[in-house]
Amino acid sequence: DAKKLVRSPSGLRMVPEHRAARSPFGLDEPPWVPDKECPRCMQCDTKFDFITRKHHCRRCGKCFCDKCCSKKVPLPRMCFVDPVRQCAECALVSQKETEFYDKQLKVLMNGATFFVTLGTSDKSELMVCRLSNNQRYLVLDGDSHYEIEIIQISTVQILTEGFTPGGGNTRAIGMILQYKVPGSEEVAQMKFTAGEDFSCNRKLSASWLAAMHKATKLLYESRDQ
């Protein structure tokens, strides 16, 4: 998808030419709290003057002094080219998201193999499941082929096993995915189950499911913006 370089008060952004092509995990730039409404830092309450200048967090749009908004952190969810100024709270959130963009997004795009069951069927099909390169579709390939638009996904339930009363670790073994069928109000369901044939496949499937769990959280946040 074609992209263009745009300049906003917050910095340079590389965004899709058409809004419909944007990543479903993306966030819009927030409106800045007007300077006239910020006589003091919204974190430490320091009064602004000629020496203590105002700075806006690029993630939340609130107004802070330099001490409370000094960190420059990557913010790929808003398509910024370079790290941008953020308040301490937002910087922490953005830093945690970096792992998703640096590691887990690649895991989703590389894909993993699952037995996929449609609806209430008692038959399953072995399929390779991956996220499309433009991040907008979940692609399933086997004897059949499906493409589920990410924004149509309504719920994701990760299935786990291995819990013990002593607090042992659980392991992701599958998921139940519900999504809206385009052009109707119908909700379809798919169940993904990791195969038990090779330990390496189980490990890859568990990593893919963990990445999908994180992706779902980001998707819900984008919708709630």
Show the beta-strand stretches assigned E in the chain: 3-8, 11-16, 55-56, 63-64, 71-73, 84-86, 112-118, 124-131, 137-141, 145-149, 153-161, 171-180, 187-194
CB half-sphere exposure, 206, CA atoms < 13 A? 15
- Same domain assignment for residues 178 and 217: yes
Which one of 56, 85, 105 terminates a domain? Answer: 105
Write the CATH number for 22: 3.30.40.10
pLDDT (tens, 9 = 90+) of the chain, 225 residues, equals 688 999 988 899 999 888 778 889 989 999 999 999 999 999 999 999 988 999 999 999 999 999 999 999 999 999 999 999 999 999 999 998 988 999 999 999 999 999 999 998 889 999 999 999 989 999 999 999 999 999 999 999 999 887 655 555 677 889 999 999 888 889 999 999 987 665 557 788 989 999 999 999 898 887 765
- Same domain assignment for residues 83 and 133: no
Contact 225, 27 (CB under 8 A): yes
- Same domain assignment for residues 129 and 90: no
- Same domain assignment for residues 74 and 133: no
- Same domain assignment for residues 2 and 29: yes
- Same domain assignment for residues 8 and 101: yes
- Same domain assignment for residues 130 and 176: yes
Q: How many domains does the chain have?
A: 2
- Same domain assignment for residues 40 and 20: yes
pTM of the model: 0.81
Strand pairing category for 55-56 and 63-64? antiparallel
- Same domain assignment for residues 40 and 115: no
Q: Whole domain around residue 123: which residue ranges? A: 110-222
- Same domain assignment for residues 24 and 66: yes
- Same domain assignment for residues 31 and 133: no
Which one of 55, 80, 105 terminates a domain? Answer: 105
